[in-house]
Structure 1
Amino acid sequence: MTTPAPRRPRPLGILLTVIAVLAVGVNLRPGATSVGPLMTQIVDAYGRGAFASGLLTALPPLIFGAFGLLAVPLSRRMGLTGTIIASFVVAALGLLLRPASEAFALFVALSGLALLGPALGNVLVPAWIKLHGGNRTVGLMTLYSATLAIGGSAASALAVPLAGAAVDGWKDSLLVWGMVIAVPVVVWAMVLARTGHDFPPPPAHGEIGGSLLRSPTAIALTLMFALQSLNAYTQFGMLPLVLTDAGISPARAGVLVAVIAGWGLVGGLVMPTVIARVPGLPWIVGGFGLLNAAGYLGLLLVPTVSPMLWACVLGIGGFAFPTAIALLPARTRSPLVTARLSGMVQPIGYLLAALGPITAGLLMDATGSSGVVLWFLAGTGLLLAVAGFRVGLPRLVDHEIRS
């Protein structure tokens, strides 16, 4: 596959770079997280049941995984910036059109288009930051991780208030994010005017073409990302039910899940700097998996003693997500390898993560017990600890795929 010859780029400037990362980070999650709080209204509007709810819950990781596999091949032709803009234009169309869908199948299809921008952006933005960030890479990754959390939580928190009391208010609520997503399209069009075709060039000694499957670090990071994403999507989809079965009120369960998610903002602000400055990462990164296991066991064995404590333990364990994102540029030297690594870790990770809610549902159906879900998640926490420990070792993927 040939790549267009890049023209000489113009400097982006720190202000435009920061605005670009801020605009894209805030808009990568609302298309997915704005649906959950409105799930009952949406499903009822189409006369559907539990299967429809499960399908919409599993759709984001499935789309993130399937479309994410296309990110690197597309960006070779269109450049990183060009691909991000094109995907967000398509996403905007999906977000704007899906509230008017008369059929549930069309709503699902347009939801898939709405998730196209995030699917490609997930993979390409870390590589874009590595390519254009220079000595500001750590700061930009911090901003990116934090705005991911802000965008996702804001869309979830605002979904119901934006819907109001009207029966079809959910349509207006979802429509808002189709208008908001116009912001990154405009900002990144300005970026494209300066960067042109900006797919990372190969190093001076030639493209690093070794298989990522030869890199233990790449494999461990893929497993780490898959396991933390599996936990996150299962928490959002199944944990409220598990908590209510344990005797916690539905309102309290909702608060606890929100607390777990809220810690993600702290992790996004802290972990990129920790990764850049702290040498002893294996025990820190592996420790997030142990915290996940401890939080689930606490909810299982003593759920009503201090559920807020266990929610905070799980929230800190959720630092594994911003850590995995920050490790994409930190464990690579060449922006090209960053793009390739991100194109492996995130799509495969998200596809595997979709198995979490499905497995949890099957376990509950088979046993009639919500406790078995907590045992299952605690086990994944231990596996996450092992993968995180390996990723924490100071190894570069560039070196491993050459050996």
Structure 2
Amino acid sequence: MTTDPGAAPEPAASAPSSGSASSPLRSRTAARTIGFGLAVAAVVFIAFSLRPGATALGPVLAEISASLGIDGSVAGIITALPGLLFGLVGFVAVSLGRRAGLSLSIALSLIIVVLGLLLRPVADSFWVFVPLTALALAGMAVGNVLVPAWIKRHGGTRTVALMTLYSMFLTVGGSAGSGLAAPLAEVAGSTVSIPADGWRWSLGFWGLVAVVPLVLWLVVARRTGHDFPGAPPQALPDRPLRTSPTAVFLMLLFGLQSMNAYVQFGWLPQMYRDAGLEPNLAGGLLSVVAALGVIGGLVMPTVIDRSRTLAPWMIGFGAMTTSGWVGMLLAPAEAGLLWAVLLGLGGFAFPTAIALIPARSRSPHVTARLSGFVQPYGYLVAALGPFGVGLIHAATGSWTPVLILLACSGVLMGLAGLRVSGRVFVDDEIAARQ
């Protein structure tokens, strides 16, 4: 992330086109109405709430399947939902932000998250559980796309600090969702009349947690008003982002890492359980993977800001991801912690890709469009992974072909990362193709 024009507030560079609801004066007013303390609280709590609704599924997937009568191939649909919904709904997130403003759109998305997460535990069939899960994930998808753009818009000189908090707590939330799912289900199962329904209470807990960021973002939205950034002069950034190689390869990096992440969230605990480990231990090893991502979220925005090239990091991320999956193939139970650590370190690519969205764009307007390009397409790539894993495992009864393909994906991820490792701006690439 550069400390040049891209990291400072740019009301002058964000002058609106005709009919825009944003203006230079409005930009400065909006920026002043958000104190740093409120910005930190809003970013931290929404980041914490954008993942547990998805990551809590994997550790209790067997219990959900047994309770709702779901077989292995259908369970693959549930594990694919996060990537699929994050992708499809992500396409409309920027349009929603343009109409309602970034802050209000994020607040509205959190209402959907809370409703979906609180209602799905009462589902008594697959046909009710899946739509409610999809509802919650749709709300998360809007937050995924718009929060990085919001940080670029309101962060000013503290953009790096806010992106660090966002990346870190995004992973903290994911780790908490996976690490607490089985223990919460076990505790709930010991206190309710139907122990097998402990997973319902475990999943419902995250709906209550999401109420906190909802309240905060309603306050933020009231203070900012319509805060979608206007297009820079000459409207060059409105050219298709597919004309920018950096945007395309950043999307591939994001998609391949997200695919690995959602396979881990959805299937890694089951891989460990099939290797003979207890459910709580399997969920704990997944939490190790996710917890290491907290460190990645803490350090990578600063690394990006200060490094001329990220090439060594990208090679390392790919190598460690490949090594972790190869280890799961050879000795999943005997050295399970080692493979979890390697996969977790390879997962540093996720906060890196997130932080590169504002770091590889100069204006908030381009940041919003880049986020709306990288994440939706990336998550569609990601959705293929968990669904494919479910189909392949159901067809073969073995994890071997799955693990070989995942190891290859680590190589591809490293190659995509190399292309975005230098200090190149999407704005400049688009302008050069006029």
Superposition TM-score tier, normalisation by shorter sequence? over 0.9
After superposition, residues 250-289 of structure 1 pair within 5 angstroms as 250=278, 253-289=282-318
1:366-389, CA deviations, whole angstroms, 9 ceiling, x for partnerless residues? 555422222211111111111000
Given candidates 406, 417, 422, the residue that maps to 1:377 is: 406
For 1:367 and 1:52, the matched residues in 2 are separated by 15
Determine if the alignment matches structure 1 residue 249 to structure 2 residue 277. yes
Tell me which residue corresponds to 1:399.
428
Tell me which residue corresponds to 1:325.
354
Determine if the alignment matches structure 1 residue 188 to structure 2 residue 210. no
Taking every aligned residue pair, what percent have the same amino acid on both sides? 52
Q: Compare 332-341 and 303-312 and name the one that shifted more.
A: 303-312
1:105-144, CA deviations, whole angstroms, 9 ceiling, x for partnerless residues? 1221111111122100000100100110011111111100
Is the CA contact 2:244–2:429 (under 8 Å) kept in the aligned structure 1? yes
For 2:214 and 2:268, the matched residues in 1 are separated by 35
Q: Could you say what secondary structure the match of 1:280 adopts? A: coil
Tell me which residue corresponds to 1:150.
172
Is the CA contact 1:95–1:111 (under 8 Å) kept in the aligned structure 2? yes
Q: Return the letter of the residue paired with 1:36.
A: G
- Compared CA separation, residues 370 and 174, structure 1 to 2 (3 A): closer
Determine if the alignment matches structure 1 residue 124 to structure 2 residue 156. no
Is the CA contact 2:229–2:365 (under 8 Å) kept in the aligned structure 1? yes
Is the CA contact 2:76–2:388 (under 8 Å) kept in the aligned structure 1? no
TM superposition score normalised by structure 2? 0.86
Tell me which residue corresponds to 1:170.
199
Q: Which runs of 5+ in 2 are unaligned?
A: 1-17
Given candidates 129, 132, 136, the residue that maps to 1:107 is: 129
Determine if the alignment matches structure 1 residue 350 to structure 2 residue 394. no
Q: Return the letter of the residue paired with 1:12.
A: I
Tell me which residue corresponds to 1:296.
325
Tell me which residue corresponds to 2:21.
4
> Aligned pairs, how many?
402
Q: Return the letter of the residue paired with 2:225.
A: G
Given candidates 109, 114, 139, the residue that maps to 1:87 is: 109
Q: Compare 106-115 and 19-28 and name the one that shifted more.
A: 106-115
Is the CA contact 2:314–2:414 (under 8 Å) kept in the aligned structure 1? yes
Is the CA contact 1:91–1:116 (under 8 Å) kept in the aligned structure 2? yes
Is the CA contact 1:88–1:116 (under 8 Å) kept in the aligned structure 2? no
- Extract structure 1 runs of 4+ deviating beyond 6 A: none
Q: Return the letter of the residue paired with 2:122.
A: A
Is the CA contact 1:88–1:185 (under 8 Å) kept in the aligned structure 2? yes
Q: Return the letter of the residue paired with 1:183.
A: V
| Deviation of 1:269 (Å) | 0.6
The CA RMSD over aligned residues, in Å, is: 2.2
For 1:343 and 1:206, the matched residues in 2 are separated by 17
| Deviation of 1:205 (Å) | 4.4
Tell me which residue corresponds to 2:87.
65
Q: Return the letter of the residue paired with 2:277.
A: S
- Compared CA separation, residues 258 and 5, structure 1 to 2 (3 A): closer
For 2:19 and 2:172, the matched residues in 1 are separated by 38
Is the CA contact 1:33–1:155 (under 8 Å) kept in the aligned structure 2? yes
Q: Compare 289-298 and 114-123 and name the one that shifted more.
A: 289-298
For 1:318 and 1:77, the matched residues in 2 are separated by 34
Is the CA contact 1:276–1:330 (under 8 Å) kept in the aligned structure 2? yes
For 1:368 and 1:110, the matched residues in 2 are separated by 30
For 2:93 and 2:99, the matched residues in 1 are separated by 10
Given candidates 45, 64, 68, the residue that maps to 1:42 is: 64
Tell me which residue corresponds to 1:29.
51
Is the CA contact 1:242–1:371 (under 8 Å) kept in the aligned structure 2? no
For 1:248 and 1:174, the matched residues in 2 are separated by 25
Q: Compare 229-238 and 77-86 and name the one that shifted more.
A: 229-238
For 1:67 and 1:306, the matched residues in 2 are separated by 39
Determine if the alignment matches structure 1 residue 387 to structure 2 residue 404. no
1:162-199, CA deviations, whole angstroms, 9 ceiling, x for partnerless residues? 33123233333333222221211211111112211000
For 1:288 and 1:157, the matched residues in 2 are separated by 23
For 1:364 and 1:104, the matched residues in 2 are separated by 20
TM superposition score normalised by structure 1? 0.92
For 1:259 and 1:172, the matched residues in 2 are separated by 23
For 1:189 and 1:207, the matched residues in 2 are separated by 33
Is the CA contact 1:288–1:318 (under 8 Å) kept in the aligned structure 2? yes
Q: Return the letter of the residue paired with 2:134.
A: G
For 1:254 and 1:162, the matched residues in 2 are separated by 12
